[in-house]
Chain A
Amino acid sequence: MSAKNAVLGLVIERPGYGYDLARRLQERFGSSGFAPTGVYSALDQLTSEELVRSGGAQVEPANERAAPRTIYEATSKGVDRFEEWMLQTSSLAPVRDELYMKIALSKPHNLARLIELTQTQEQDCLARLQRLRQPAGIRQQSRPKAWADVAVLLVRDAEIKQLQARVEWLQRARTIMHKLNHVQERSTARGGGVA
């Protein structure tokens, strides 16, 4: 999935210049792995398809000597295309995971290291969760009411639930690998082995 539709949606929400859009893309879809430079190629593509256009230039007040920045805004064709995209079905992302592959191709002597890897990855999931914060604009101790706020919460929840599912799987995998590793160590100590 390219960043094209996400960038188009952000421009429709509010016109902006490249860096501003890259920052907003990171804020809203940080875990999607879009490269910041992807915003510029998406803007080039959207411009050539006449879905966005340059809406003028803006000089940063704090740095008047800097070159003016091109502000992008959506065209009516762009708004129509975005609405079409919104109505289309959404496909599931393919699961392509290095740890799955390592486990699938591992041998018993790899178990100890795989156990460590599950622990490290669980800690990485927690670190990613810790970086996720309450979306800006939602006041603490009150229930968010505006749809825009609720939508942000739902997307954040989806991301966290994926992390949770990952951690649950890592813990289950670690538990069973611990057991098998223990069996293997005992077997090795007796002079046998686990195939």
Chain B
Amino acid sequence: MSAEVRLALEKVSKSYWRGPHETAVLKDVSLSVYAGECVAVWGQRGSGKTTLLKVAAGLESPESGVVRFKDQDLGGMSKTALVRLLRGEIGWARRTGPESDELEMLDYVALPLLKHQPLRRARRRSAAALSRVGVAECSKGRWEDLTDGERTLVSIAHAMVRQPSLLVVDDPTANLDVLQREQVMGLLRGTAEQDWLAVLITVPDMPSMVHAHRIGSLSDGRLLVPSGVLPERDNVVDFPGRGRAANG
């Protein structure tokens, strides 16, 4: 099986205005994420990690550069097509939880499916997703009853229930202890490999990156990669992942 680039950022730049000052958050960032791999980007607070994820997931447009998902330029897509893509192919795990405190987690995780599937089938898939991430016992629980670790895992199940091609997670190990962190990061890596999923995460804590297939750090809007990794283009993360993924 040949390696497949699921997500490619090519020389992406993005800035925000803070009062009269323009702050460049991303500067010529290039990054590829392949099917079957987990890529982790580390950065300090305010380094642009969340912006990177929003741009990667099509939620924000870059000022310059191209974002491709499965070879499609997100910038060239109609709004309708983009929304369809975001709903079907890109899963963003958010730890905000359901809007209703009364919702059981089985139904919360089933929510993204209800537009196209009957409740019973959606619940069946929700139960499978919760079981897949190891929190089947939370299906009857409510968000406020869950621990931080369980909330993270339920959020991942919520993002994965539609079986996306790309999973995006902002700081999946926030508030977790060492053991919970190992469980969550092991799950993300294992899911990428077993489900042939592309996973892109950002973390503020380097120990969380050890499970990732490839890593980078974001500073002053630029992405740095480990020494010994030769970029194909300027400021690009493009490691031997292709070879590894190609070898299965």
Interface hub of B179, B186, B227 (most chain A Cβ within 10 A): B227
Contacts of A130 in B (CB 8 A): 214-215, 226
B179 adjacent to A150 (CB under 8 Å) = yes
> Are B206 and A127 closer than 8 Å at their CB atoms?
no
Binds B, one of A2-10, A92-100, A104-112, A151-159: A151-159
Comparing A41-49, A133-141, A187-195, the segment that makes contact with chain B is A133-141
A133 to B186, CA, bound (A): 12
- Inter-chain CA distance A155–B44, complex, in Å, is 23
A127 close to B227 (CB less than 8 A) = yes
Q: Are A160 and B220 in contact (CB under 8 A)?
A: no
Contact of B182 with A171 in the complex, beta carbons under 8 Å: no
Docked-complex contact B228 and A127, CB < 8 angstroms: yes
B61 on interface, CB distance cutoff 8 Å: no
Closest B residue to A131 by CB, please name it: B226
CB closest chain-A residue, reference B186:
A140
Select one of B134, B187, B189, B226 contacting A126, CB under 8 A.
B226
Q: Interface size (B, Cβ < 8 Å)?
A: 30
A152 to chain B, nearest CB (A): 11
Whether the pair A126, B215 counts as a contact (CB closer than 8 A) is yes
- B175 nearest CB across to chain A (Å): 16
Q: Smallest Cβ distance from A149 to chain B, in angstroms?
A: 9
Q: Does A102 contact B (CB under 8 A)?
A: no
Given A133-B210, A134-B210, A161-B207, the answer on whether A144 and B227 have CB atoms closer than 8 Å is no
Which A residues touch B215, using CB under 8 A? 126, 129-130
B224 in the interface (beta carbon within 8 A): yes
Write the nearest CB–CB distance from B155 to chain A, whole angstroms. Answer: 16
Which of A129, A140, A161, A163 touches B189 (beta carbons < 8 Å)?
Answer: A140
Q: Which residue of A lies closest to B44 (CB)?
A: A168
Asked if B30 lies at the interface with its beta carbon under 8 angstroms from chain A, I say no
Asked if B15 CB lies within 8 Å of chain A CBs, one says no
Check A123/B44 contact, CB under 8 A, given A140-B186, A143-B180, A143-B183. no
User: How far is A164 from B206 in the complex, measured between Cα atoms in Å?
Assistant: 6
Q: Which residues of A contact B219 (CB under 8 A)?
A: 122, 171, 174
- B211 cross-chain contacts in A, Cβ below 8 A: 134, 140
Find chain A residues with CB under 8 A from B205 CB.
164
Name 20 interchain pairs, CB-CB below 8 A, sorted by A: A122-B219, A123-B227, A124-B226, A126-B216, A127-B226, A127-B229, A134-B211, A140-B187, A140-B190, A140-B211, A142-B186, A144-B182, A153-B178, A157-B178, A163-B206, A167-B217, A168-B44, A171-B219, A174-B220, A175-B220
